[in-house]
A and B are shown apart, each in its own frame.
Chain A
Amino acid sequence: MALLQVEGVSKKFGGLQAVNDVSFYIRRGTIKALIGPNGAGKTTLFNLISGFLRPDSGTVLFEERPIQNLRPYQIAGRGLARTFQHIKLFSKMTALENVMIGRHSHSRAEFIAGILNLPRTRREETDIRERSLEIMEFLGIAGLAGLEATSLSYGQQRAVELARALACEPKLLLLDEPAAGLNMRETAETARLIARIKDMGVTVLLVEHDMSLVMNISDEIIVLSYGQTIADDTPLAIQKNAEVISIYLGEDDA
């Protein structure tokens, strides 16, 4: 059954049709990759799904309910978490505090509770901290907990951002180029991690340029070009698809 269903979504920026009548769905418990040349509309599509942009037309259904008119924080509350192509960690906060923000929609202490700092509120804080540390341990970065997040290496920052998204306990995880800027070893490690995240029951949608990673871990691949869907199939079928090959190898019309 489809966890996310995108139906006829379009988005125009001025004269540019960034996303043009795109439809696809993601089944629960699978990994779907979104690939395509630069400027194909992949990040725009991500932003449309996560609420940072509103589609001009079309609907986005998450667990059969429309989300295209919700704000990002509301969509996050429904169980959809994302990472960013350009890492967006919170500066002047430790790696652990960054991950703890991921627990925001799973905790409730608001202004009054925070001000009164009652035992129940303190228990919730301890819970947020422990849960966040568990996730960092799972990703093998518990040792970075006390360090300022933005002082970490690029690869470590990617891992913290992933931990933060996982702390949301998402049903659907959107990863925007999780291997960008990583070396081969780190990329392979990321691929293993994504596979393990899938085993935990999290559905994944990822944008990625590293073809070996995409081909290895994806259950299905959707190819976008000039804002339109070119193909939506298994990795094997995609590798044999003539149109896809021409886009990737013979881009003489660019």
Chain B
Amino acid sequence: MPHGKYIRLSVLILAVVAVQLLTHFTGATYHLTQLTMSAYYSMVIIGLCLLIGYAGQISLGHAGFFAIGGYTSAFLTTFDLTPYRGKAVVSLLAKAGVLSARQDLYGGSLLTVQPWTACVIAILLTLLVAYIIGGPVLKLKGHYLAMATLGFGIIVYRLVLGTTFLGAADGLSDVPAFTLFPGVGVSGKISMIIQNYYIAWGLVILGMIVLLNLIDSRVGRALRAIHAAEDAADAMGVNVSKYKLNIFVLSAVYAAVAGVFLTHYNGGIGPSEASIMKSVRYVAIVAVGGMANLWGALSMGVLLNYLSLRGYLGSYDDAVFGGILIVIMLFAPEGLLRSGVLGDLKRTFSFRSDQGGAE
């Protein structure tokens, strides 16, 4: 199994490079924009896949964590501190080097929190919220957990929609580039399109390595045990509630990191990113990918988000994802990419009848 992991990762890296070269030589570089955005959405999806597929817990509120990450970073990097210059706190922050001055679109000067700091604060805030929400909520099971996380998602959505300093229905815009290192930054500038494609996919690959290592470890084994028989795992010494909570928080952080990066890439964020339909979409994609299948979640995450962003799903976008969820639950609850389904197809299209019961 570990060898398969490295082969698949190598294939992924090659595919990422191949797609970039392909768009370069066919003059279709503009596709990279949607592929970059799909990569960030896929970060949310692989994190959620760990929670749903491996730990067996559902969340219908992950768009909320994405939004907490994105909005925190957007707010901190756009909120002008110039009027508060004299305040002790602001001058202290300035001395600490976490503020940066720049010019806005109209040539006025802006003093805001610098993106790296904003990113760290966004992640810490998400950690805090996820721990506070996750503690009580993860005591619930099945439908009740789904409803509670749905409630959380609705609260975040209504908060960002109703809060003036978060831009209400308009959201926040003019979010600056996020300079990771000198010369390398998350930005939607057309001149940086290739660089940003590799930043996004680098993040996804890093995210995959982390999760793949985790599921192959003692922790991953314990998660699958919790999924299969919680009380037996408990009796074998697995601290069930701690593991559930940590995975919930980890998947929330994946969503928040995606939120931060995509917000800097798009130059802004709006309330639709926090909407319930986004959360449903993430869950639907994890389901299509095969629940406990990180590679399935990743490939479906990229494919479906790409199709959606390119507009292939038309104006019925959200309806399509709702429909996908129903069809998957009815006909392939283990996901499309699960070997069982491929096996079924093989059996259907082959004349041999001796393959049954190989599960």
Q: A72 near B235 (CB under 8 angstroms)?
A: yes
Question: Which residues of A in the span 74-88 have a Cβ within 8 Å of any Cβ on B?
Answer: 76-77, 81-82, 84, 88
Report which of A101, A114, A125 forms a contact with B236, defined as CB distance below 8 A: A101
How far is it, in angstroms, between the C-alpha of A52 and the C-alpha of B229 when the chains are bound? 14
Q: A72 near B231 (CB under 8 angstroms)?
A: yes
Q: Does B91 contact A (CB under 8 A)?
A: no
Q: Does A198 contact B (CB under 8 A)?
A: no
Q: Does A68 contact B (CB under 8 A)?
A: no
Binary per-residue interface labels of chain A (91-107) against chain B in the complex, 1 for a CB within 8 Å, 0 otherwise: 11100010011101101
Q: A168 near B359 (CB under 8 angstroms)?
A: no
A115-123, A210-218, A237-245: which one contacts chain B? A115-123
Q: A81 near B236 (CB under 8 angstroms)?
A: yes
How far is it, in angstroms, between the C-alpha of A84 and the C-alpha of B228 when the chains are bound? 15
Write out the residue numbers on chain A whose beta carbons fall within 8 Å of the beta carbon of B239.
71, 73
Q: B231 near A125 (CB under 8 angstroms)?
A: no
Q: Does B302 contact A (CB under 8 A)?
A: no
Q: Does B233 contact A (CB under 8 A)?
A: yes
Binary per-residue interface labels of chain B (200-241) against chain A in the complex, 1 for a CB within 8 Å, 0 otherwise: 000000000010011011111110110011011111111110
Q: A109 near B222 (CB under 8 angstroms)?
A: no
Q: B221 near A148 (CB under 8 angstroms)?
A: no
Q: B228 near A121 (CB under 8 angstroms)?
A: no
Q: B217 near A76 (CB under 8 angstroms)?
A: no
Write out the residue numbers on chain B whose beta carbons fall within 8 Å of the beta carbon of A84.
232, 235
Known: A113-B217, A124-B218. A168 touches B224 (CB 8 A): no
Binary per-residue interface labels of chain A (110-147) against chain B in the complex, 1 for a CB within 8 Å, 0 otherwise: 11011111000100110010000000000000000000
Write out the residue numbers on chain B whose beta carbons fall within 8 Å of the beta carbon of A121.
217
Q: A128 near B218 (CB under 8 angstroms)?
A: yes
Q: Does B272 contact A (CB under 8 A)?
A: no
Q: A88 near B237 (CB under 8 angstroms)?
A: no
Binary per-residue interface labels of chain B (227-270) against chain A in the complex, 1 for a CB within 8 Å, 0 otherwise: 01101111111111000001000100000000000000000000
Q: B237 near A168 (CB under 8 angstroms)?
A: yes
Write out the residue numbers on chain B whose beta carbons fall within 8 Å of the beta carbon of A5.
none
Q: B217 near A89 (CB under 8 angstroms)?
A: no
Q: B220 near A90 (CB under 8 angstroms)?
A: no
Known: A93-B228, A110-B219, A114-B220. A101 touches B214 (CB 8 A): no
Binary per-residue interface labels of chain A (38-76) against chain B in the complex, 1 for a CB within 8 Å, 0 otherwise: 000000000000101000000000000000000111001
Q: B221 near A100 (CB under 8 angstroms)?
A: yes
How far is it, in angstroms, between the C-alpha of A105 and the C-alpha of B235 when the chains are bound? 10
Q: B234 near A104 (CB under 8 angstroms)?
A: no
Q: A101 near B233 (CB under 8 angstroms)?
A: yes
Write out the residue numbers on chain A whose beta carbons fall within 8 Å of the beta carbon of B250.
111
> Which of B213, B224, B234, B246: most chain A Cβ within 10 A?
B234
Write out the residue numbers on chain B whose beta carbons fall within 8 Å of the beta carbon of A116.
213
**Shortest distance in angstroms between A193's beta carbon and chain B's nearest beta carbon?**
19
For the complex of A and B, the 10 pairs showing the least CB-CB separation, nearest first, are: A114-B217, A105-B237, A76-B237, A90-B228, A88-B232, A72-B234, A114-B219, A117-B213, A104-B237, A109-B218
Listed by A's residue number, 11 A-B pairs whose Cβ atoms lie within 8 Å are A73-B237, A101-B222, A101-B238, A102-B236, A104-B237, A110-B219, A111-B214, A111-B250, A114-B214, A114-B217, A165-B236
Chain A residues close to B by CB (< 8 Å): 50, 52, 71-73, 76-77, 81-82, 84, 88-93, 97, 100-102, 104-105, 107, 109-111, 113-117, 121, 124-125, 128, 148, 151, 164-165, 168
Chain B residues close to A by CB (< 8 Å): 210, 213-214, 216-222, 224-225, 228-229, 231-240, 246, 250, 292, 359
16 further A-B pairs in the complex, CB-CB below 8 A; given A88-B231, A121-B217: A52-B231, A72-B235, A73-B236, A77-B237, A82-B235, A89-B229, A90-B228, A90-B232, A101-B221, A101-B236, A101-B238, A104-B218, A109-B217, A111-B246, A114-B220, A115-B210
